Structure formats: structure tokens, C-alpha cells
Amino acid sequence: MIREPPPEEPAMRRTLSLVSLSVLAATGALAQQSGTSESAADIAAETRELLQGTGDATASGTTGSQTVPQSPPQDDAGATAGSTIGTGSAAQPETLQMLEQSGARPVETQQGGAASTGADTGSADATATTTTRGETGAVPMASGSAGGPPTPERIEAATYGGGPLPDGQSAITAKTQILLDRAGISPGIIDGWKGGMSESAIAAFETREGFAVDGQLDQQVWDALTATQPAPMLQRYTITQEDAAGLSAPLPDDYAKLAELDRLGYTSIAEKLAERFHMDQGFLETLNPGAAWQAGTTIAVVDPGPRLETRVARIEIRKPSSRLAGFDAEGRMVLNYPVTVGSAATPSPSGTVEVVAVALDPTYSYDPDKNFQQGDNDEFLLLPPGPNGPVGSVWIDLSKPTYGLHGTSDPDSLFKAASHGCVRMTNWDAQELAHLVSEGVTVEFVE
């Protein structure tokens, strides 16, 4: 069995029983990507040439029981050499305690069920000037046909021609998702598909801007998105040896088998890079047909821009729209993410709670006596950390026992599965939020 090298021993440690969750608090802020993006023309002209003639390759380059080559410890979702995303990491606030010794706080796991995809109707203080993650200043958008399946060229050339987003997968939807993501309004996974998460993101953007809210793309929304967003939408990225190292073998569903592993890491280079660049893995592979997923290969990826740096003073969990909204000290909405909330049988809390602490790279304690039983597992199990663990790569602990905000091993599942009461989001959104909150930030659950 392939085993990943264990992470470095953190400076602070706490066993946090969360229904059970034990967390290993990683030290320091998550790594950030650095560098500059290639131009739209470069991507359009060179991506095909770079990918032409390359053969398929496995992500890890190993089979059977062969050990994955070790590399210096790194954050699974952080940056490695070769990235071209802009710099700008936010240090973890000193007032926010990383989870240390003691206490028990349960957390949920995935459960089947439907989550609402309704429009985000917002609140009175939700309207504000757009806060973007990219550069500022209007940039002329490329013109040209966006018809056919999304390609790097079509995404760069896509422009709005009227009407709602087309059904199915399209370049204009992919471009809209990228623009929303850069504006702090996460569409979840960027995949080019029209759907509930994209519509709820447009509704959240309309709410923030003070527009009429219908969740549909129109000229007013398009003009606002493109007025302060730089081109290009994509960038070239060369896969590094670090990207290829520290991968896990395919992970079983059985918790008992997961507990035998050292780490629940990414299982392929494509999965690792898809999360780093906020993309659906299949969409990443579609944009790079025939690519060899190995060190040295140059691929086209989304340029999501740098993480937000504006501190979050208040959070709303908007249950009807399945969205999380974050506000600064002046009451301006600075971020908005799609989330999974509890079902009618296992609801998320009501009222207002506070952020208590943050754990990066948490482990997970499974205790069937305190929560649910998974399969035939009737004994306590400690699952190792990693982005493919039950709570993903981040746990934000709340003052209400057993509840938290956290990542997920399956970003595709947002809006498709209900939680056991906690609030689940993509790993990259959870990582961004973790660096913007501090102890005492209020979290209001809005019915």
C-alpha cells in the first residue's frame, strides 16, 4: 500500500473529539502561489502546441506497492514551485487560537439528501462596492465566438451576447465562473456547466451590487464583473516534482481501512492541481487533452487571482440559498461561498455563535457511540489528516458544541448532499476563510 510521509510535527497540538473529530493544528499560514500569468494570446497560441503529441501518464508514476518518492513536507492545497499566481498571503491572526489540548466537539460526515439551490436574497447590509481578488482597472474583453466545447481559446474570447447562460457546458459559463471567483463570489468548482451553484453565485453578486436579484446573467451583471477584472482568464503552469510527490493510492470508503493510512492525500496530480486552481478535475483534463500528468508538462489552468485580504468581522450562513456570506467591519459583503448545510433530520443550528479556533490539516475521530455508524465499524477510529479526509483540509471551530465550518473531500457534492448539521465548503474556500477570521467573529444562521 502506498503511504505518504507524515507531516511535520506541529508546534501546538490538541486532540479535539468531534463526533467525533481530533485535529492536528498545522503551524503557519498556508502556502501561496507566486509569479505572473502568461498573456491570453500566449495561452491560445501555445497550449495546443505544448500538449500536442504528449501521452497519457499516471499521476503518481507508481503501481502496486511501490512507494511514492518523498519530498519536503508541503500543504496539499498550497503552492509549489512553478506556479504563476500572484502573491499575497495573510498571516494567521494572533488572536485566533489554534486548536490545542482538550475538549470534545463532534462533527458530521456526508449524508444523502438535497440541498436548496434558491437565490440568495441577502440582507440590508449586503450591498456594497465590489471587492475583487484581481487587479483593478477596466480591461477590454476579447471578442470572438464562444461556441462549442470550452477550450482555452474559447474561454479567453468569450463575451456576453445577451440572454441567460446557455444550458450545458460552455466557454461563457466558464468565464463567468472565473470572474465571479475573482470577485470574491465563489461558484464552487469552475467547470463551465450552468447549474445551481453558478446561479446562486450570480444571485449573491447581484445582492452585493444592489441589482435586482434573479440569479441570471444579464448585461448589467456582465459589465460589473468585467469592469474591474484583468485578462487573461487562464495561465500556463508547469507541473513540478513536488506536485508529483506525496500522493496517496486510491482511497477506500471504509473508515477502518482509512484509519490504517498515514495520510488522506490527493490521489493524482490532476486532483491536486484542480483544487489548487479552483477547478473541477474533469474540466482541467478537458482543457488539456492528451497531457502527460507528470513533472515537466505545461498545462492551462484557471488564474483565480490572489486570496482576499480583507478581514471578516461577521459571517452569515444563509440556509435557503446554501451560501455563506462574510462581511467586513463596515458591514460590506466581501466574500460569498456555496455551502452544504444540514437536512431536516439533522439540521444546522439556529441563532448566532462565534468562531473559537481554527485547525489546518485536521485529523478525524470516528466514534459510533456518539454519532453515526459507518458500515460495520462499531469501534472508535482515528482517521489521519489530509484534504480527502471527512472534513477536508480546514476545521473552523464554533462556540456551539459539535459544530464547525470545514472543507470537503468532494467539492462536486456541494448542493447535492446534506450534512449532519455542520457547514461544508470547498477546501480552497475554507482555506481562504481560515485566514480572514479571528476568535470572536460572529456566525449567524439565517433561516
Do 198 and 283 meet the contact criterion of CB atoms below 8 Å apart?
A: no
Given 278, 420, 422, 435, which residue is catalytic? 422
SS3 content of the chain, % helix, strand, coil (to 5): 20, 15, 60
Annotated active-site residue 422? The verdict is yes
Distance, CA of 264 to CA of 246 (rounded, Å) = 10
- List b or e across 52-82, with b for residues whose CB sees 16 or more CB atoms inside 10 angstroms: eebeeeebbbeeeeeebeebeebbbbbbbeb
Distance, CA of 184 to CA of 202 (rounded, Å) = 11
Distance, CA of 209 to CA of 187 (rounded, Å) = 17
Given 278, 406, 420, 435, which residue is catalytic? 406
Annotated active-site residue 435? The verdict is no
Q: Residue 12 has what DSSP assignment?
A: S
Task: Please identify which residue in the block is written with the cell numbers 498556508.
Answer: 30
339: nearest Cα among 319, 359, 365, 315: 319
Distance, CA of 206 to CA of 433 (rounded, Å) = 21
- 446 phi, psi to nearest 5 deg: -100, 125
Q: What angle do CA 309, 235, 425 make, to 5 degrees?
A: 45
Distance, CA of 305 to CA of 182 (rounded, Å) = 6
Angle between helix axes 196-209 and 219-227 (nearest 10 degrees) is 80
Residue 330 burial class via C-beta count within 10 angstroms: exposed 0-12, middle 13-18, buried 19 and up: exposed
What is the set of active-site residues? 406, 422
